[in-house]
Amino acid sequence: MEKIVILTGAGISAESGLGTFRDEGGLWAQHRIEDVATPEGFARDPALVHGFYNARRVQAAEAQPNAAHKALARLQRDWPGEVIIVTQNVDGLHEAGGAQSVIHMHGTLAGALCAACGHRWTAPPEMAVGEPCPACAAPTARPDVVWFGEMPYHMDSIYDHLAGAGLFAAIGTSGQVYPAAAFVHEATMSGARTVELNLDPSTGASSFDDVVLGPATETVPHWVDQMLISQ
């Protein structure tokens, strides 16, 4: 049975109350990307960046998975083939909704990373500037998220999954951030069918075989039902 590869973005967590990036009043409307989501921004003003991620970490910890997160977990459970979930999101709502082995290509709010020795540990709810690394004690702790200009995580395995996909679905992403925005082209070149489920057509909507518009809590459960009935 065919392998399904799913890419999710901020839109799948929007109805759990977590802000998206580029929608009206989204996260980037309140902050400049350069100031809060780049290594240069962190070097310039670590307190501003920790403050940005602390607020999101606390909010994400209080958020609940929604019907879309749960529907993808159901698809993973009931689909006879492999279902790989790759997320650009740094919240833990896929796992909270029951999904297994989610690939976080942009890292996670729950993770802390030492910029000096590469040690990783579970971040406290609020990280402070100069926090010592538990392994090397250097004051270089940062959120374990992938900033602009940094290499996303797990790219080799993501490209392997795309090469073997029979179906690629992009859910709740505006298709403006690379390399995730190019996954639909990789999937198409591997012969996969492609579908986008989004509130509004993404920048890359025309690259998909099908586009399903609407809020994820409505479109995703319905799409999963259709997939399971048609198998």
Residue numbers at the binding site for ligand BV8 (CB under 6 A):
9-11, 14-15, 20-23, 26, 37, 88-90, 106, 145-152, 155, 172-174, 176-179, 198-200, 202, 215-216
Residue linked to tokens 């929007």: 14
In the complex, minimum distance from the CB of residue 37 to ligand BV8, in angstroms, rounded to a whole number: 5
In the complex, minimum distance from the CB of residue 165 to ligand BV8, in angstroms, rounded to a whole number: 18
Considering beta carbons, is residue 100 or 176 the nearer one to ligand BV8? 176
Considering beta carbons, is residue 173 or 194 the nearer one to ligand BV8? 173
- 90 close to 54: Cβ distance less than 8 angstroms: no
Catalytic residue, chosen from 50, 94, 106, 161, is 106
In the complex, minimum distance from the CB of residue 145 to ligand BV8, in angstroms, rounded to a whole number: 4
Considering beta carbons, is residue 136 or 182 the nearer one to ligand BV8? 182
Number of residue whose CB is nearest ligand BV8: 11
**94 in active site:** no
In the complex, minimum distance from the CB of residue 60 to ligand BV8, in angstroms, rounded to a whole number: 10
Considering beta carbons, is residue 47 or 178 the nearer one to ligand BV8? 178
- 29 close to 18: Cβ distance less than 8 angstroms: no
**What is the rounded distance in angstroms from the CA atom of residue 196 to the CA atom of residue 202?**
8
Considering beta carbons, is residue 150 or 210 the nearer one to ligand BV8? 150
In the complex, minimum distance from the CB of residue 26 to ligand BV8, in angstroms, rounded to a whole number: 5
Residues labelled catalytic: 106
